[in-house]
């Protein structure tokens, strides 16, 4: 019995070492889960790895175990906004008459020890180095110490990265943008040139396309119709902007903000026949950025995405559609532009170069399409 426990503990530890330190999986905390370890990596083909060390006596117990796995996977899928979730169940203790079979999105393997990896050729497609990485020169206590230290160091580094991303920082850019909006409105009001400035600098398609006043694509986002309009936008900018500046960093924030202004203005002049002013298009772009960031960190922000971010976006769009005085096309243009700009600048520690390059390409194509529509159909 002691030999069996040692054998199971050894293979479980080796698997944990490989998936955590080499494949960037993280443990999932599940209440009531005994003799099983759940790991997640939402960027991997197998988004969930489940290592089961309790003894499975027969096929009926295996069927119940798989039923339980599918039930938990549904909850994880819902929480992480995953449309599809492929999982790998690794069993380390099966009865002699237990037969593993295909189970939809759950692949099952049995590893008595690491040598059994060779029985599952399909694993090399997803984890080509798994065979070599499960081999260690250390044995006994030295192996236990090495594996424990490596896993602890990996978890410590991941925790430091998460802390760096989420820790509060000075929100200088957001405050500067708010001050600029307030000062411009104060000048418009106190100088008595409100009407002149709006006529000269508002986002207005014919003036931009035919009058070649391209600066209007940007300047309209810094003008406001009245004090309520200004206060509402500045408050929204403070609430959402501070989050994006904190999570994404200042230069990414600035890129997202001004790209959102441009895409909001372009879609507005394509589909809206009137002049448009206000920072709301850029603010919707920041909402799009928050949505994209939250998706990458959905293990941390999954509940916030579902209960706050998505409902906030939907509610504001609905308000825009119900109020004819609101330029909802600018909101939609900003939202899409903010999402694409976020893909293009990337999320720290999460985005790959491939994703960033694709994001830049799609963003450029989106802006080019809006520009073509604006300058050929107005």
Residue ending a domain, choose from 124, 148, 165 = 165
Q: Is the domain of 99 the same as that of 194?
A: no
Q: What is the mean pLDDT of the chain?
A: 92
Cα 277 to Cα 94, 281, 283, 327: the distances in Å are 67, 9, 13, 9
> Catalytic: which of 280, 296, 342, 351?
280
Number of domains in the chain: 2
Tens digits of per-residue pLDDT, 290-300? 999 998 888 77
Residue ending a domain, choose from 106, 134, 165 = 165
In this prediction, residues 211-224 reach a mean pLDDT of 96
> Is 280 one of the catalytic residues?
yes
Confidence of residue 378 (pLDDT cuts 50, 70, 90): low
Q: Are 117 and 131 in contact (CB under 8 A)?
A: yes
pTM, 2 dp: 0.87
Q: Is the domain of 247 the same as that of 327?
A: yes
Provide the domain limits for residue 53.
2-165
Q: Is the domain of 212 the same as that of 355?
A: yes
> Is 331 one of the catalytic residues?
yes
Read off the CATH number of the domain in which 273 is found: 1.20.1540.10
Q: What is the pLDDT of residue 83?
A: 80
pLDDT at 265 over 60: yes
The Cα–Cα gap between 95 and 67 comes to 18
- The three-state DSSP-derived secondary structure of 301-339 is HHHHHHHHHHHHHHHHHHHHHHCCCCCHHHHHHHHHHHH
Q: Is the domain of 319 the same as that of 373?
A: yes
Q: Which residues contact 91 (CB under 8 A, 6 or more apart)?
A: 52, 56, 100, 108, 109, 110, 111
Q: Is the domain of 185 the same as that of 85?
A: no
Q: Which residues contact 349 (CB under 8 A, 6 or more apart)?
A: 161, 165
Give the containing element (helix H, strand E) for 216.
helix 216-219
Q: Is the domain of 249 the same as that of 199?
A: yes
Q: Is the domain of 160 the same as that of 303?
A: no
Q: Is the domain of 337 the same as that of 308?
A: yes
Q: Is the domain of 215 the same as that of 124?
A: no
Residue ending a domain, choose from 165, 192, 227 = 165
> Catalytic: which of 17, 224, 296, 331?
331
Q: Is the domain of 196 the same as that of 255?
A: yes
Q: Is the domain of 142 the same as that of 251?
A: no
């Amino acid at each position: 019995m002691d030999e069996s426990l040692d054998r199971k503990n050894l293979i479980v530890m080796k698997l944990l070492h490989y998936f955590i330190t080499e494949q960037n999986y993280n443990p999932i905390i599940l209440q009531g889960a005994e003799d099983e370890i759940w790991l997640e990596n939402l960027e991997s083909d197998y988004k969930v790895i489940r290592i089961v060390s309790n003894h499975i006596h027969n096929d009926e117990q295996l069927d119940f175990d798989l039923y339980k796995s599918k039930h938990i996977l549904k909850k994880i899928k819902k929480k992480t906004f995953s449309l599809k979730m492929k999982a790998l169940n690794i069993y380390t203790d099966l009865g002699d008459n237990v037969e593993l079979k295909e189970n939809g999105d759950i692949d099952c393997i049995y590893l008595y020890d690491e040598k059994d990896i060779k029985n599952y050729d399909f694993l090399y497609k997803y984890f080509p180095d798994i065979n070599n990485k499960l081999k260690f020169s250390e044995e006994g206590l030295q192996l236990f110490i090495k594996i424990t230290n490596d896993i602890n160091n990996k978890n410590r580094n991941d925790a430091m990265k998460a802390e760096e991303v989420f820790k509060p920082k000075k929100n200088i850019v957001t405050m500067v943008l708010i001050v600029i909006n307030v000062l411009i409105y104060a000048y418009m009001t106190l100088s008595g040139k409100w009407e002149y400035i709006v006529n000269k600098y508002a986002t207005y398609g014919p003036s931009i396309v035919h009058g070649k006043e391209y600066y209007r694509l940007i300047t309209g986002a810094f003008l406001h119709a009245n004090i309520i309009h200004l206060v509402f936008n500045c408050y929204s900018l403070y609430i959402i902007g501070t989050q994006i500046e904190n999570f994404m960093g200042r230069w990414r924030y600035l890129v997202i903000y001004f790209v959102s202004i441009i895409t909001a203005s372009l879609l507005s002049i394509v589909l809206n026949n009137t002049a448009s002013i206000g920072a709301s298009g850029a603010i919707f772009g920041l909402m799009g950025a928050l949505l994209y960031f939250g998706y990458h960190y959905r293990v941390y922000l999954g509940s916030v995405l579902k209960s706050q971010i998505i409902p906030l976006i939907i509610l504001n769009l609905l308000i825009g559609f119900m109020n004819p005085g609101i330029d909802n096309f600018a909101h939609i243009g900003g939202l899409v532009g903010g999402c694409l700009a976020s893909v293009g600048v990337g999320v720290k520690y999460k985005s790959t170069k491939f994703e960033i390059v694709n994001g830049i390409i799609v963003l450029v194509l989106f802006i080019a399409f809006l520009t073509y529509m604006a300058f050929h159909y107005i």
